[in-house]
Structure 1
Amino acid sequence: MSGLASLPAQSQASAKPSQIVVNDSGGATQQANRKTFYNAFEKQTGVKIVNTSPVDLGKLKAMVASGNIEWAVTEIAGPDAVTAERMGLLEPLDHSVIDLSKFPEHLRNRKFVFPKSVYSTVIGYRSDTFKNGGPKSWADFFDVQKFPGPRTMQNSPIEQLEFALLADGVPMDKLYPLDVDRAFKKLDTIKKHVAVWWTTGAQSAQILIDKEAVIGTAWNGRYHSLIKEGAPIQIEWNQGAIKESAFGIPKGAKDAYWGQRVLAAMADAKLQGEYASIIGYPGVNLEATQHTDPKMVPFLPTNPENLSKQFWIDLNWWADNGQQVQERWARWMLER
């Protein structure tokens, strides 16, 4: 397995611990991590992984500031990963241990933030309501005459602004920097047609099942889990928003080398394929789909047919502007 070979000489400086702590978001993701990456790491190294959760940037900051670092590796949510890098909270990635050569080109030279897996926010619609096909773009999503019925969207400016700009004719490759005023102006046109602004992943897809809305947005895995059970939901991948789930090694972690080895396991194509087969959120090693359950591949953001239709959320832009935009979003949500 790539990245899991015998120890290089540099490891001699890091005495082999009996166990290390890996912090992630818990739940189904942690279970999938355990069945794939964590078990493989333990088998190869003889070092036990102890899991903690949840993901917490504040705790990471406190650990690094105090020098009392519990985690060898931690997951870091969304734009917080950029913030953690800028604040100097992370160890550099060791590219002699972690092989990113098969990742998308824009991710191969990551210095501190490891892009562990991805998920997409996509359009979903009830196929029994739109028997001749549903919306194929965000322009269609915003077109309530062509595609009538209540909508659901996430109660968050991240992605909603991008979707509004796409609906207003901005090309995917020209989204950033976001024209915030233009985005809110377009959102004004759909606001009264959004029956539910969802706040949790579980809620997002269930809204379509409960017929509170007939068109919506959700993370691809949420729709897939219901489709698998026979729900009349169709996914539209065009103009989907790809976001990464990031991991990093806390600055000053005493078991940093072993953290690099955990990330090396997470970069492995075969293990990523097994992970995606379990949970539907793939890693970004482009060879991983060769090791994924063929029935799952059409539902993955990294399936080449789907990947080419989507855009990557710019975490740097959101790290720079997120707080200000979030405050404006909160005010906008209160307006009638």
Structure 2
Amino acid sequence: MKTKATLIATVSLLATAAAAQDKSLTIASWGGSYQDAQSMALFEPAAEATGIDVSQETYGGMADVRLQVSTGAVTLDIVASGSGSAARAGAEGLLEELDYDVIDVSNFYPTLYSPYCVGGDVFSTVYAWNTDTYGEDGPQSWADFWDVEKFPGTRAYRGSVAGALEPALLADGVPPEEVYEVLSSEEGIERALDKIRELKPHIEVFWSSGAQHAQLMKDGEVDMTTGWNGRFDNAAKDGGAVMYSFNEALLDYDCFAIPKGAPNLDVAMEFLAEISKPEYQDDLPKYITYGPTNKLAYDTGEITDEVAAGLPSSPENAAMQLPISLEWYAEWETIAAEMYAEMLTE
């Protein structure tokens, strides 16, 4: 016969198990090979380890978060975001402040987390070219990307402002260290837009997602495009005739944020703490060539020297690139986005 103490212990265990089963959250990311990689390296293993029931969705970025927060109908607990967009959304009050007593970032690169967003991977915005058109000797600078006489053919370009203005100024001869200084005025933004207008007759597509720009190259629909290095590596693995260069690329990171009013805030914070650990981050490059934000991920033995040499955050590759300025995006993205949208409709 069970004693009273045994019954109490049994009830307590059942209650604990029920509470674990009740833990659930919804994560939104951008789909395609990127979300597949996140799912296999981060989301699914962490869900199994924590017992949290994780639902995944795809979404359209911070505009979706803005709508949910403004209407008070928040359904998303965690969203993947570009660092600049998260900086702006945090400044707007759209995101919860993260608890770094729960999320351990002591071994993160110091520039790869912020009060509202914790880094999930390091990537590069690069120019890529079709090797059927140009062979292996494609463009090696943004000036080459703009040079339609030296490299005749069709282009694709980003349909939103993040990572779109900096290449234009680099192509226009602005030194990397002065790019954000120039962009910190409406006149400077207009200068970048004028450079894009110059190329616009040769731009067949203004792409809106990583899956789209990867597919454009895989299908050979354009001869060159801007885009994210890992997407192009996966397109090449799938048979796409595509190469890219890290020279003058934009070094950036994706991060995870919690929308203001998320229905499962504490669970979301716990889950972010889990997927920030090196034993998850060291698996991401197996599925997409983005670098980890936790430095300890390079010490587990899962990332070989050969793989590390192809990652955006390797010292040799990082030295060739322009780091994205979150301060600029927090201050100027809204104005720049309006000006960019007007340019697109001209």
TM bucket (normalised to shorter chain) is 0.7 to 0.9
Distance 1:64 1:195, change over 3 A: closer
The match for 2:22 among 18, 39, 47 is: 18
For 1:252 and 1:215, the matched residues in 2 are separated by 41
Task: Give how far 1:159 is off.
Answer: 2.2
Q: Which residue of 2 aligns with 1:214?
A: 223
Give 2:232's match in structure 1, choosing from 217, 223, 236.
Answer: 223
| In 2, Cα distance between equivalents of 1:26 and 1:168 | 31
Distance 1:75 1:210 in 2: 27
> CA contact under 8 A between 1:100 and 1:285: conserved in structure 2?
yes
Compared CA separation, residues 211 and 103, structure 1 to 2 (3 A): same
Which of residues 126, 149, 156 is equivalent to 1:152?
Answer: 156
Structure 1 residues 50-69: aligned runs within 5 Å: 50-54=55-59, 57=62, 60=65
Whichever residue aligns with residue 102 of structure 2, its letter is: V
User: Can you list the C-alpha shifts for 1:81-135, whole angstroms capped at 9, x where unaligned?
Assistant: 2243224343332323322233222235x22221222332211123343346121
Distance 1:244 1:188 in 2: 28
1:246 to 250, 255, 270: 255
Counterpart amino acid of residue 332 in structure 2:
N
What is the TM-score normalised by the length of structure 2?
0.77
**For residue 198 of structure 1, what is the amino acid of its counterpart?**
W
Query: What is the rounded CA distance, in whole Å, between the counterparts of 1:181 and 1:240 in structure 2?
Result: 21
Stretches (4+) displaced over 6 A = 65-68
Contact 1:55–1:75, Cα closer than 8 Å, also in 2: no
- Alignment deviations for residues 26-46 of structure 1 (CA, whole Å, 9 cap, x no partner): 634444434333344344433
Considering only aligned residues, what root-mean-square deviation do their CA atoms show, in Å? 3.3
CA distance in 2, matches of 1:261, 1:136: 43
Greater radius of gyration (CA): 2
The within-5 A match list for 1:1-12 is: none
Find the aligned partners of 2:28 and 2:208 in 1 and give their Cα distance. 20
CA offsets, 1:135-184, max 9 Å, x none? 11112222233333333222333323110111122222321141213212
Alignment counterpart, residue 176 of structure 2, candidates 172, 177, 188: 172
Tell me the equivalent position of 1:93.
98
Matching residue of 1:104:
109
What is the distance in 2 between the residues matched to 1:66 and 1:132? 50
Unpaired segments ≥5 residues, structure 1: 1-14
Residue aligning to 1:35: 40
Which has the larger helix fraction? Answer: 2
- Asked if structure 1 preserves the Cα contact closer than 8 Å seen for 2:23 and 2:267, the reply is no
Give the alignment partner of residue 304 of structure 1, picking from 293, 310, 315. 315
State which drifts further: 244-253 or 110-119. 244-253
Distance 2:76 2:201 in 1: 45
| Distance change (3 Å), C-alpha of 1:314 and 1:216 | same
Q: Is contact 2:69–2:260 with CA below 8 Å preserved after alignment?
A: yes
Any stretches of 5+ residues in structure 2 without a counterpart?
Answer: 1-18
